[in-house]
Structure 1
Amino acid sequence: MFRMLFAAAAAFYVACASPDAGLAQDAQIRRGQYLVTLGGCNDCHTPGYFFGKPDMARFLGGSEVGFEIPGLGVFHGPNLTPDPETGLGAWSAEQIAIAITRGRRPDGRELAPIMPWHAFASLTAQDVRAIAVYLKSLKPVKNKVPGPFGPNEQPTSFVMKIVPPQAATEGSSAR
């Protein structure tokens, strides 16, 4: 009898708690979406963005344009969708949070310097969690971005070059 009462009470609790839990999750996802939009993540992580035609069917699926950083190489905005092979599908929410706020991948590698994790390090824990939950809620996009390419490797895609001011001046005066 006790087991039946306990099971009934547990079922009632789950039935009553689920709508609130779902609403809380929806609110967290909406907050994450807001923060991802505000943070400009779309710019570097959506195919076509740098060509003026973002491919919204592959939103946050990784960029085909890399950033060249002198002495370091070429880095592409990776796939932020939960695709298990080419995106963040195998990453936990905590691993995503560490990447966003500390610039570290689950394998221990440091994110490319172009990723503004230093700016995101001061986000609240709730906001970082909302971003991670939102990214995990996206439709998975299978898109393996090129690279990274070391400083002596030839990239296989379009590249945006970061040029120091002195080098930019020297290049324009040589014309």
Structure 2
Amino acid sequence: MRHRSLLPIVSLSCLFAALAACQPTPPEATAGATPVDPPAPAAPHGEDPLLERGEYLVRMSGCNDCHTAGYAERQGEVDKAEWLTGSPLGYAGPWGTTYASNLRMRVDGMDEAGWLAYTANLRTRPIMPDFLLRAMAEDDRRAIYRFVKSLGPAGAPAPAYLPPGQRPDPPYMQLVLPAAPQEGPAVAASPGGR
């Protein structure tokens, strides 16, 4: 009940603050005050609204986690000039060793329609979560394409895939599958156990 009785006071306080913000400030009240930056200008006519969406999706979908070398180690504090240029870190497992590709070089060689078809049908080796990319809305995949394309080509190709049985050069992560259950007599439960 106590919280409920504060709601009208809080609402009135917000209303008064909003009304006060609408009142002109007398010049003497701003003397010696720190100047406030003017609002950012509106985006130029014709600028692609999908660029900002694409940057957001790349950042939040984890693309940089693998496709930008050192991104996780630097806690995301990586200049965009370094984004999505691939990584020398290999991911070794039963499938062989895969590397996160240089997406800026890959996108540079594709038009938008080609990218949309490629990402709608992408099937690759671990650890790339290709199923997430395939499940994305077409406009989200288009936004990613336009953002990556806006960065321009940079970097070098990532190392080539290595088939199973070939040991990669460092750095690499070894991903090991759990052992299969062993055949044999059932293990007796401990006293009092289930």
Interval of TM-score (by shorter of Structure 1 and Structure 2): 0.5 to 0.7
Return the alpha-carbon distance in structure 2 between the equivalents of residues 98 and 113 of structure 1.
20
1:47 to partner: Cα distance: 1.3
What are the ranges of 5 or more consecutive residues in structure 1 without an aligned counterpart? 1-18, 104-109, 168-175
Deviation at 1:148, TM superposition (A): 0.7
Shift of 1:115: 1.5
Relative to structure 1, the CA distance from residue 125 to residue 65 in structure 2 (aligned partners, 3 Å threshold; closer, same or farther) is same
Q: Provide runs of 4+ in structure 1 moved above 6 Å.
A: none
Question: TM (normalized to structure 2)?
Answer: 0.61
- Equivalent pairs counted in the alignment come to 134
**Bigger-Rg structure (1/2):** 2
Is 1:146–1:157's contact at 8 Å kept on the other side of the alignment? Answer: no
Task: Work out whether residues 48 and 64 of structure 1, in 8 Å CA contact, stay in contact via their aligned partners in 2.
Answer: no
Superposed counterparts of 1:38-117, under 5 Å: 38-49=60-71, 52-53=73-74, 56=79, 57-70=81-94, 72-81=95-104, 83=105, 87-103=106-122, 110-117=123-130
Within the alignment, does 1:37 sit opposite 2:59 as a pair?
Answer: yes
Given that residues 116 and 142 in structure 2 are in contact (C-alpha distance below 8 angstroms), is that contact kept between their aligned partners in structure 1?
yes
* Structure 1 residues 98 and 66: CA distance shift in structure 2, 3 A: farther
For residues 157 and 96 of structure 1, what CA distance do their matches in structure 2 show?
31
Does the 8 A contact of 1:61 with 1:79 survive in 2? yes
Cα displacement (A) at 1:155:
1.8
Cα distance in 2, alignment partners of residues 99 and 40 from structure 1: 19
Structure 2 Cα separation of the partners of residues 146 and 94 of structure 1 = 27
Structure-2 separation of matches of 1:69 and 1:95: 30
Please say if residues 50 and 143 of structure 2, whose CA atoms lie closer than 8 Å, have aligned partners that are also in contact: yes
More helix by share: 1
2:158 matched residue in structure 1 = 145
- Cα deviation for residue 21 of structure 1 reads 2.5
TM-score by length of 1: 0.67
CA contact (8 A) 2:93 2:174 kept: yes
**Counterpart selection for 2:170 from 153, 157, 172:** 157
2:5 corresponds to: none
In the aligned structure 1, how far is the partner of 2:170 from the partner of 2:62? 22
Distance of 1:117 and 1:64 partners within structure 2: 20
Which range moved further: 122-131 or 55-64? 55-64
Provide the rounded CA distance (Å) in 2 between the counterparts of 1:88 and 1:31.
17
